Structure 1
Amino acid sequence: MILLIDADVLCHKFAFINEYDIDWGEGIASKQTNRRKALADLASYVEHLLKVSNCKEAILVLSGSNNFRYSVLPTYKHHRGEKPELVDVLKQHIREFYPFKEKDCLEGDDVMGIMMTNEPDKYVCCTIDKDLRQIPGTHFHMTNEEFFYVSEDEGNAFFFTQVLTGDATDGYGGCPGVGKQGAGRLIESPYLLVPYEHTFKAGPRKGQTEVRYKEEPTDDLWAAIVSQYEAKGLTEAEALQQARVAKILTNKEWDFKKEEVKLWTPC
């Protein structure tokens, strides 16, 4: 099988560890980089990953520019800091000297997701990025150096969990107040939050009313998720916006003829 390596991770890792701040004293400091060592580190690590995964070849996957998610949610990844100087140097080196995949408008995660689902028996997904746990197939954890398999049901469950809980690192919040435990319970046994008017029978609020919610079982997971958003005063459109930025693309969300994204839509 071919090892699909998340090259964004490698570029940031080796750019970061080969960047140094030098204090010259008297308030003068400068940033220095070691380009040669960064390139050597990259080459050595790719060879190491091939060896420990027992794969014969690798494709390095890069994120393109103009991420489609920015048009879905303008605040997506808005708080990311400045990238290390050598990132672009390493990316260009990969383009020149390695088998690679990169597509304008897509993150590397999306490219890997499309490739993994289009030819599931051909590739192994190699990353540390938890988002790729949405994608069914064979995975190899870059740090733990262990194989694991993600089923389609497991991938879907991970996706819907992210729709509910959000991802602060990527700048989308999910449904307010829903944590992993609550999301897991909802996904395992979907239910609707149905509003009803409660009247206080005693106490200082006797005779007053408030809206409360009761749980009613359903087979429609998306409707169950939307009801969570609506209970927090949000809309289905806002739930869908969160889902579309959370979704790592598969071959179902990519138009191969037009080479464009088909935004995720609930079944």
Structure 2
Amino acid sequence: MEELDILQIPDDGPVALIDADSLLYYEMGKPTLEEAIQGINNRLLHMLAMCGTSKYAGFLTLSRCFRYEVAKTKAYKHNRKGGSKPIIFYALREYLQQEWKMEAVRGLEADDLVAVHAKPSGTIVCSPDKDVLYQVAGKHFNFRTNEFIKTSKLEANKFLWKQTLMGDATDGIEGIPKVGPKTADNLLKKVTKGFEKIVIEKYVEKFGYYEGVCKFAETFKLVHILKTYEQVENAIGLDLSGSLQVHDIKHLNINYG
């Protein structure tokens, strides 16, 4: 990665909600921990500068999420390669928790945490993950491409039902066989409401009533990013309302490099 130009961090602004999982993978291949830490610091400082704020809340995925229990047809993320990660990965994860005050909630992924705390105004969700960028309504900063994206409620809703139709190969989630992005887009192109009925009918058409409804329910729960405190409580039995801890970069002892 090219060296980042760290802009002057503004004093205030919106709250940057950071899905930090990818940062670990971006930097874990560095020769030394010091270089990896500096790389993460540079990325985060640049992110905040681009978002025009010194305020943020960062999130990590530390444990198996509830989706592993939901998945019955095939294990959640069964297609991911196993193997151990380098020690630097775990050191960086602890560094983000200790120095950047990033948080995790057992049973949830970082995707869920940025989504549930996102607001129509006053927050910017920072993530390179397509699920977050296009399934969560609001303003986003894709820190992989250095681009801002604004997703409307209709666009976010349509993307969720598109994923329910076709599944998500990245996470090993099966949808309706032979339904890919183009087919799903064509099915939903002119739809603005009643998505659930249309998608269930397609599952029933392919699998029959019982199996179709069961497969639909499983796929929906797997691709659906939790977006409200009520959804979180229903999924893992935990009330997260009022739990958002916002930090200010000015109060951290971070090496600006």
Superposition TM-score, scaled by structure 1 size: 0.75
1:246 and 2:246 matched: no
Q: Secondary structure at the match of 1:41?
A: helix
CA displacement, residues 134-156 of structure 1 (integer Å, 9 cap, x when unaligned): 11111111123222211111100
CA displacement, residues 155-195 of structure 1 (integer Å, 9 cap, x when unaligned): 000100101111111011111111222212222346xxxxx
Count of residue correspondences: 217
Flag the structure with larger Rg. Answer: 1
Q: Counterpart in 1 of 2:16?
A: 3
Query: What is the Cα-based RMSD across aligned positions, in Å?
Result: 2.2
Distance 1:110 1:246 in 2: 11
Q: Counterpart in 2 of 1:98?
A: 100
Distance 2:90 2:15 in 1: 25
Q: State which of 259, 262, 267 in structure 1 corresponds to 2:238.
A: 259
Distance 2:64 2:180 in 1: 31
Equivalent residues in 2 for 1:6-45, closer than 5 Å: 6-15=19-28, 17-18=29-30, 33-45=31-43
CA displacement, residues 184-209 of structure 1 (integer Å, 9 cap, x when unaligned): 2222346xxxxxxxxxxxxxxxxxxx
The one-letter code sitting in structure 2 at the alignment partner of 1:151 is: S
1:46 and 2:11 matched: no
Percent same amino acid at aligned positions?
26
Q: Counterpart in 1 of 2:114?
A: 112
Unaligned runs of 5+ in 1: 19-32, 191-218, 262-267
The one-letter code sitting in structure 2 at the alignment partner of 1:226 is: I
User: Cα distance, 1:83 vs. partner?
Assistant: 5.3
The one-letter code sitting in structure 2 at the alignment partner of 1:2 is: V
Equivalent residues in 2 for 1:44-193, closer than 5 Å: 44-73=42-71, 75-81=75-81, 82=83, 84-85=85-86, 86-116=88-118, 119-132=119-132, 133-189=134-190
Distance 2:78 2:23 in 1: 22
Q: Secondary structure at the match of 1:176?
A: coil
- Kindly report structure 1 stretches of 4+ aligned residues shifted beyond 3 Å: none
User: Cα distance, 1:8 vs. partner?
Assistant: 0.3
Q: Secondary structure at the match of 2:23?
A: helix
CA displacement, residues 3-28 of structure 1 (integer Å, 9 cap, x when unaligned): 1122101011101x32xxxxxxxxxx
CA displacement, residues 94-150 of structure 1 (integer Å, 9 cap, x when unaligned): 11101323111000000011011xx33231011110001111111111123222211
Any conservation in 1 of the 2:51–2:124 contact (CA below 8 Å)? no
Unaligned runs of 5+ in 2: 1-13, 241-257
Q: State which of 216, 222, 228 in structure 1 corresponds to 2:196.
A: 222
User: Cα distance, 1:258 vs. partner?
Assistant: 4.5
Q: Secondary structure at the match of 1:177?
A: coil
Quick check: 105-114 or 65-74, which moved more?
65-74
Q: Secondary structure at the match of 2:149?
A: strand
Distance 2:162 2:78 in 1: 22
Q: Counterpart in 1 of 2:250?
A: none
Q: Secondary structure at the match of 2:104?
A: strand
User: Cα distance, 1:76 vs. partner?
Assistant: 0.8
Any conservation in 2 of the 1:2–1:59 contact (CA below 8 Å)? yes
The one-letter code sitting in structure 2 at the alignment partner of 1:247 is: H
Superposition TM-score, scaled by structure 2 size: 0.78
Any conservation in 2 of the 1:3–1:124 contact (CA below 8 Å)? yes
Distance 2:35 2:145 in 1: 24
